[in-house]
Amino acid sequence: MTQVPILTTPRFTCRAPTEQDVDTFWPAFSSKSQMRYWSCGPFTDRAALQDYLLDEKAGRSWVAEPKDGGAPVFRMFTSSPHQEVAEIGYIMVPGHEGQGIARECMTALITQLFRREGYHRIFGDVDPRNTASARLLLALGFTREAHLRDAMKTHIGWCDSWLFGLLSDEWQG
């Protein structure tokens, strides 16, 4: 089992996902608009989504649950393709955008990876049309390092990728 430490922010407790979270994240992962820039299309089966959310082989995953109660509103994950290098990703439950949730929770995750786990580099891979995601990474201090043309074929066809990177000594957290 992969260690998923509990992360806390002023408004959220970020914990490992459970089977009970599938219904909460169904609106995000079954939505064409929310999944447009994901590497796979919207889910059509809750059991498949459960397998996906709880797949420990794919990396580590957290869900952000409000400290004052209520269902999770945000999911973030990381995988490590190389030693001391982590890729990050995230998705918001529809209706919670524009409240600073992603920035707050991702700050906790990045701090965990750099300061507690000793990672050297964190990167994100973003479709250039996903302006909200690109803005988030830039706001967190990432540098856009590359534009890969037709980098991958997904459910919406061939897609470009912007690669964003952040090094440990650049993190202001």
Q: Taking CA 65 as the corner, what is the angle to CA 162 and CA 58, rounded to the nearest 5 degrees? A: 45
Residue 173 has pLDDT above 90, yes or no: no
> Residue range 28-33: average pLDDT?
92
Q: Where are the domains of the chain?
A: 7-170
pLDDT tens for each residue of 81-125: 899 999 999 999 999 999 999 999 999 999 999 999 999 999 999
Question: Can you give the pTM of this predicted structure?
Answer: 0.93
33: Cα separation from own chain's centroid:
16
Q: In Å, how far are 18, 23, 46, 57, 110 from 54, measured between CA atoms?
A: 7, 13, 12, 9, 21
- ∠ CA(5), CA(170), CA(107), 5° rounding? 35
The class that CATH gives domain 7-170 is alpha beta
DSSP reduced 3-state for 164: strand
pLDDT of residue 147 exceeding 90, the answer is: yes
The helix (H) or strand (E) run that includes residue 88 is strand 85-92
